[in-house]
Amino acid sequence: MSSRKMTLDLHPVFNQGGAIDKALHDAMDAAEARKVKELEIITGKGSGALRKRVLRFLDRKDMRERYHRIDKDPGNHGRVFVYFRFKRGQ
């Protein structure tokens, strides 16, 4: 795993509500601890319900404060990218 990028694949827990939130929290914590610049979240294509859930999670006020921006992959709607920005010395 690169120190500049991390990937979270939600396929194994796609139908387990509490496990999805825990996986997202753990990934955000790990990304901040490792000071990665990009967290790729793989939701899969499916019906889009998991992607919507991830976007709602990321849009929460307590989560928005933790990252710089998010991007949705226009060529593959089964991925969401979360970008972090860290100040020097943090």
Q: Could you tell me which CATH number the domain at 5-83 has? A: 3.30.1370.110
Confidence (pLDDT) at 12: 87
* Per-residue pLDDT tens digits for 21-58: 999 999 999 999 999 999 999 998 888 899 999 999 99
- Show me where the domains of the chain are located: 5-83
* Per-residue pLDDT tens digits for 55-78: 999 999 999 999 999 998 888 889
Query: Nearest CA to 72 among 50, 49, 55?
Result: 55
Distance CA 29, CA 54 (A): 15
pTM of the model: 0.87
Q: Are β-strands 79-83 and 69-72 bridged in parallel, bridged antiparallel, or unpaired?
A: antiparallel
- Residue 3 pLDDT class (50, 70, 90 cuts): low
Both tokens of 43, joined, read: 């939701």
